Amino acid sequence: MNNDKLVFTVEQHPMGQPRARVGKYGVVFKSKKAVDYAKETKWIAKCAMMSQGFTYTEGPIKIEILACFPVPQKFNKAMRAEALAGKLLPAKKPDNDNIEKAVWDAMSGVVYKDDNQVVTNYTSKIYSNKYADGAVVVAVTKL
């Protein structure tokens, strides 16, 4: 078992890190949806760490993220085939950097100490029919 690499999947529509909002009386808060997404990502990462023998790290790491989006229903047969072949890509929101931030923040303090340890990263978005609602596949490698 390779305990220098952690791989897990969050089977939810890819979500970007939203901007914090200022509510009544100047209180800063995040949306419930963002908080729930972070909790689920954190829980899945913890479970994957235990099952894969990956230990908390304070050293440099590489993070790879694959955001899988469901193929839109409005796509015709030809567009659907192109999307699933990787010829048509989801150039849409959420932005890659916001997807990264949502995942990185959820793993911070669980998988690694702080996201400043990320020295190499790669994030891409694809269409896939493997996950009905979409998913985010994450791989963390200790360097």
**Number of neighbours of residue 86 by Cβ within 10 angstroms:** 11
Per domain, the residue ranges of the chain are 5-142
Q: What is the pTM of this model?
A: 0.89
Domain covering 5-142: architecture: 2-Layer Sandwich (3.30)
Give yes or no for residue 6 having a pLDDT over 60.
Answer: yes
Q: What is the pLDDT of residue 2?
A: 60
What pLDDT digit, counting tens, does each position of 24-61 carry? 777 766 778 888 999 999 999 999 999 999 999 999 99
The string of pLDDT tens digits covering residues 87-100 is 999 999 999 999 99
Tell me the DSSP string of 27-94. Answer: -EE--HHHHHHHHHHHHHHHHHHHHHT---B-S-EEEEEEEEEPPPTT--HHHHHHHHTTSS----SS
